Chain A
Amino acid sequence: MALLAVRDLSIDIAGIKPLDGIGFAVDKGEILGIVGESGSGKSLTALTVMGLLPLIGGRVARGSIRFDGTELTTLPEPDFRRLRGRRIAFITQNPMTSLDPVMRVGAQIDQVSRLHLGLDAKAAQARSIALMERLRLPSAATVYHHYPHQLSGGMKQRIVIAMALAADPDLIIADEPTTALDVTIQAQIVQLLVELVRDRGVALILITHDMGVVAQACDRVVVLYAGRVAESHGVQAIFAAPRHPYTQALIRCIPRDGMAPGSLAGIPGSVPSVANYPAGCRFHPRCDRAGAPCAATVPPLEHLPSGAEVACHFAETREVANA
């Protein structure tokens, strides 16, 4: 039984259904990547698992989210509050949205372990500074007393990660944690997250639009398109033999060594808005291989013999052709 298992999840926000039957699982010591373009439903997925959907006027319409044996979709808010921040932690893209600008950063990390673990002030401070050192913040004991504005973007993101770790969570959901950072800092943060998963055995859901980050860090990958799962597989297999045309196109969008000039094509058009989801396969208007059934029938997510899960009418024939 995986630590977190999401099954057939659909949500409803004011009558529209931005997530439609998505599913995935992640276990301890594992990094699951959720990828897709803007508007594919990545962040909504995170919000839903965190039980924060009511904040934006949404609700779970169908399906289940099981975390360590507990069903989260029906969990009362007071119980959820004991889980959130304690056993499930959240890291956002912009650290400034997670940090209080008028509070010293050390005190903000302390708060988490005092609230959730019941530590006293002294123990909390020691724990925070140890965490900051573990996250390779230079002169941690000094930075502990700084305010957020005194820190660089990379340091602020390390503080947010320290807050996420302060209560020793089992699952961390990181929503584009490195997108706003410089490339050398992004690489360091990705490295840190990978180390944390390996050392502490936490489960990590890494939400990103960057296939490079996925290839570098993840064990398994879920590709979302317009609120549905397009494909899901192990990271090696999904890059070696992507089955869904959308996955293939996403990978082709990233320049790699040895690519000939003119070979970077992109994906024509853009992700439709929730109000304008097309019938059938939602990717078919942008797909170079769409056929007759694609506009009419929703392709079910099927388990292929290779272990891939793919929602494409032609995935099976391609699997045979590739074998």
Chain B
Amino acid sequence: MPEPARDLVRIRALGKRFDSRKGLFGKRRSLKAVSDVTLDIPRGKVTGVVGESGCGKSTLARLVVRLLRPSDGNVMFDGVDLGRLSNREMRRLRRRIQMVFQDPYSAIDPRYTVADALLEPFQVQGTRLSAQQARDKVTELLAMVRLGQELARSYPHQLSGGQRQRIGIARALAFKPDFLVLDEPTASLDVSIQAQIIALLEQLKAELGLTYLFISHDLGLVRYFCDRIVVMYLGRVVEVLPAPRAKPRHPYTRTLLDSTFAPDPTQRRDISRLTGEIASAYDLPAGCAFAARCAFADETCRARVPLLAADPDGHAVACFHPLT
């Protein structure tokens, strides 16, 4: 048998444009949420995507699981082009590709008990379970996310935020998927609960051999949890760090790192040089989108979009003046 390809997911020149009007009679405008993203997601690893509001990280997550259809490019999952699948075929493949959302509260029907919520994926997939099988599944899934069996009869509003996110993860695991897309799964949780959930995700990955795409705004967390880090700014990948501790070469990644405070007062950051705001994703400037906030920007940066170029170690940066 041939060895499976190293990469579980291959993303090629992926783009997503949203068209809208400004006001009811206003002029049409389009927002390029994601532009020209090419990325491989290696099997059994955690690939992190980090960036701020409007960088396109959540749109990318939705494109990868085909909750959104791309305007350009394609997503290959284990050799299958998701764009060519019928809805029926895609639903079948969703057993292997699952997503965990930031707010599990809005992902679970408030009238469902925890047991109902955990069995919903089987209904969606048309899998009939006997009463005994259903009970066993609920028991198994609750145990998998380290929740007590007594919660099976509870309703979502009776659970804490951390417990709800565990239910969200358990639902995603119902069909023993290969690939989980985690869209800011801890962003609305206390740090103490965030750490619990990350620890759980680490354990599940080891137990079940999962591959993760982890979306986050928190570079500190991504550097702890991920094997590889993709940095996005206004719809484009600006840097790929081949290892979590690789030294940033893009000025934006450097800025992100300088903005991440370590829990150590002896290592205070000098943040006096940080300025500027993220531009609107409408009417993007020509050239590098970060140029307006960048200390190194010159005429070239304002005129042309820098392309992502990788060195032999797989460290890729899209910058005309990368840091050394």
Q: Is B154 located at the chain interface by the 8 A CB criterion? A: no
> What residues of A have a CB within 8 angstroms of the CB of B221 in the complex?
255
A38 to B193, CA, bound (A): 11
Contacts A37-B190, A210-B261, A255-B223 given; does A191 touch B195 at CB 8 Å: no
Interface residue stretch chosen among B13-21, B98-106, B111-119, B212-220 = B212-220
A257 to B243, CA, bound (A): 13
A212, B261: Cβ atoms closer than 8 Å: yes
A37 to B189, CA, bound (A): 10
A186 to B260, CA, bound (A): 9
A153 to chain B, nearest CB (A): 8
> What residues of A have a CB within 8 angstroms of the CB of B192 in the complex?
37, 249-250, 253, 266-267, 270
A257 to B274, CA, bound (A): 22
B162 to chain A, nearest CB (A): 6
- CB-nearest residue of chain A relative to B272? A191
Q: Is B91 located at the chain interface by the 8 A CB criterion? A: no
B277, A267: Cβ atoms closer than 8 Å: no
A81 to chain B, nearest CB (A): 35
Contacts A183-B256, A235-B265, A250-B191 given; does A136 touch B277 at CB 8 Å: no
Contacts A136-B275, A239-B265 given; does A253 touch B195 at CB 8 Å: yes
Q: Is A102 located at the chain interface by the 8 A CB criterion? A: no
A90 to chain B, nearest CB (A): 23
Contact of A213 among B196, B225, B261, B266 (CB under 8 A): B261
> What residues of B have a CB within 8 angstroms of the CB of A251 in the complex?
263
A155 to B105, CA, bound (A): 30
Chain A contact residues (Cβ within 8 angstroms of B): what range? 35 or more
A187 to B277, CA, bound (A): 12
> What residues of A have a CB within 8 angstroms of the CB of B278 in the complex?
152, 182, 184
A224 to chain B, nearest CB (A): 13
A251 to B245, CA, bound (A): 21
> What residues of B have a CB within 8 angstroms of the CB of A212 in the complex?
220, 260-263
B63 to chain A, nearest CB (A): 22
B191, A188: Cβ atoms closer than 8 Å: no
Contacts A184-B274, A257-B223 given; does A266 touch B264 at CB 8 Å: no
A264, B255: Cβ atoms closer than 8 Å: no
A189 to B224, CA, bound (A): 25
A255 to B192, CA, bound (A): 11
Q: Is A262 located at the chain interface by the 8 A CB criterion? A: yes
> What residues of B have a CB within 8 angstroms of the CB of A185 in the complex?
52, 277
A182, B217: Cβ atoms closer than 8 Å: yes
Contacts A38-B190, A216-B268 given; does A255 touch B196 at CB 8 Å: no
Q: Contact string, B235-274, partner A, CB cutoff 8 A, digits 1/0? A: 0000000000100000000011011111111111101101
Q: Contact string, A243-262, partner B, CB cutoff 8 A, digits 1/0? A: 00000011111111101011
A270 to B158, CA, bound (A): 13
A249 to B198, CA, bound (A): 15
15 CB contacts below 8 A, A to B, read A136-B275, A152-B277, A183-B52, A183-B256, A184-B255, A187-B269, A190-B261, A212-B261, A214-B263, A215-B264, A239-B263, A253-B191, A257-B245, A264-B195, A268-B196
List of 8 A-B pairs having minimum Cβ-Cβ separation, nearest first: A266-B195, A255-B224, A212-B261, A266-B196, A187-B259, A182-B52, A267-B192, A216-B261
